[in-house]
Amino acid sequence: MDISLNKYISETGYCSRREADRLIEAGRVLLNNEIAVTGNRYTEGDEVVVDGSIVKPANKEKMVILAFNKPIGITTTTDENIRGNIISYLNYPKRIFPIGRLDKDSEGLIFLTNNGDIVNKILRAGNQHEKEYQVRVDKNIDGTFLRNMSEGVRIDGVTTLPCRVKQTGKHSFNIILVQGLNRQIRKMCEALGYKVTALQRIRIMGITLGKIAIGKWRYLSEPETESLLTSVSGSVSEVKGKTYKIAKPQKLNPPSPKKTKTDPAPKQDQKKNKVSSYREFRKRGRKK
């Protein structure tokens, strides 16, 4: 066996590969009694120690994937020394770790699993795995805002990939991304002069938040798990280089380029297809 050290740690079930990278960079991993560095490889017989504990391959156990409705204020980290961390909050009896992140100030759907192999496959933007959000901002949305959001916004020195955006109210919109940049939606809005006042993730790939109450979780059903695994079966877990070839998605009801005034609120019958959890989301954010 000759694999990257971060992959070995991930496959033992200790944490995700991304979290393993952070542990290595922080100097918390020893490889054969020496401080590990990024790029180290694991070979059969090597000893790997993380925070003083030897990390060994886990016994093969049934894969677990949880769908959790994360509340605002919970931090998506496996570091249990951080107050309000997601692992301590769930208190699941076996070691699990989150797939990706969801801002502390945001709520909604996030997966947790004991299987490190699927984590990076789901996270890679190059695999075009969709994540859908409901967002509320501090002022009226207009056509220019919707076009700019859908075509890409310059943040942190890069232009975000094209995405699908649809207005759902005077101050709210739905957005579907295939990227996962740090606080991406919030930064996109800020770059256009808006401030996010509420943000909820309602879908990851084909799995929706549905009726999971805030702070509660459920297991993915067998059909959902099979569908998820099938959708990532052709995905790559590592991508060479930094360039992704992404097909530009079709916009959802793109506004007319001539419209500059504030777009009217959607008709009432458009609310029929909203998930039940979003009714409460809108209720909390609606001005009185």
Token duo for residue 68: 């959790």
pLDDT (0 to 100) of residue 167: 97
Higher pLDDT, 243 or 72: 72
What pLDDT score was predicted for residue 190? 97
Q: How far apart are CA 109 and CA 220, in angstroms?
A: 12
Question: Looking at the annotation, which residues are catalytic?
Answer: 103
Confidence grade of residue 244 (pLDDT, cut at 50, 70, 90): very low
| C-beta neighbour count of 117 within 10 angstroms | 15
Q: Does the pLDDT of residue 204 top 60, yes or no?
A: yes
**Does 287 have pLDDT greater than 70?**
no
Confidence at residue 236, expressed as pLDDT on a 0 to 100 scale? 53
> Where does the pLDDT of residue 63 fall: very low under 50, low under 70, confident under 90, or very high at 90 and above?
confident
Instruction: Among 47-61, 181-195, 204-218, name the one with the lowest average pLDDT.
Output: 47-61
Q: Which CATH architecture has domain 126-207+249-262+276-283?
A: 2-Layer Sandwich (3.30)
pLDDT at 282 over 80: no
- Here the contacts of 56-63 (C-beta below 8 Å, separation 24 or greater) are 56/12, 57/11, 57/12, 58/12, 58/13, 61/94, 61/114, 63/113, 63/114, 63/115, 63/225
Of the two residues 213 and 270, the one the predictor is more confident about is: 213
**Least-confidence region, from 40-49, 50-59, 141-150, 217-226:** 50-59
65-125+210-232 carries CATH number 3.20.20.370: no
Task: Say yes or no: domain 2-54 is CATH 3.10.290.10.
Answer: yes
Q: pLDDT tens digit string along 133-169? A: 999 999 999 999 999 999 999 999 999 999 999 999 9
Q: Is the pLDDT of residue 251 over 70?
A: no
Query: Is pLDDT at 252 greater than 50 in this prediction?
Result: no
pLDDT, residue 272, reads: 43
Spell out the domain ranges in the chain. Answer: 2-54, 65-125+210-232, 126-207+249-262+276-283
pLDDT (0 to 100) of residue 91 = 94
- The two structure tokens encoding residue 78: 């496996």
Residues paired with 35 in a beta bridge: 30
Claim: this prediction has a pTM higher than 0.85:
no
What span, in angstroms and rounded, lies between the C-alpha atoms of 91 and 163?
35
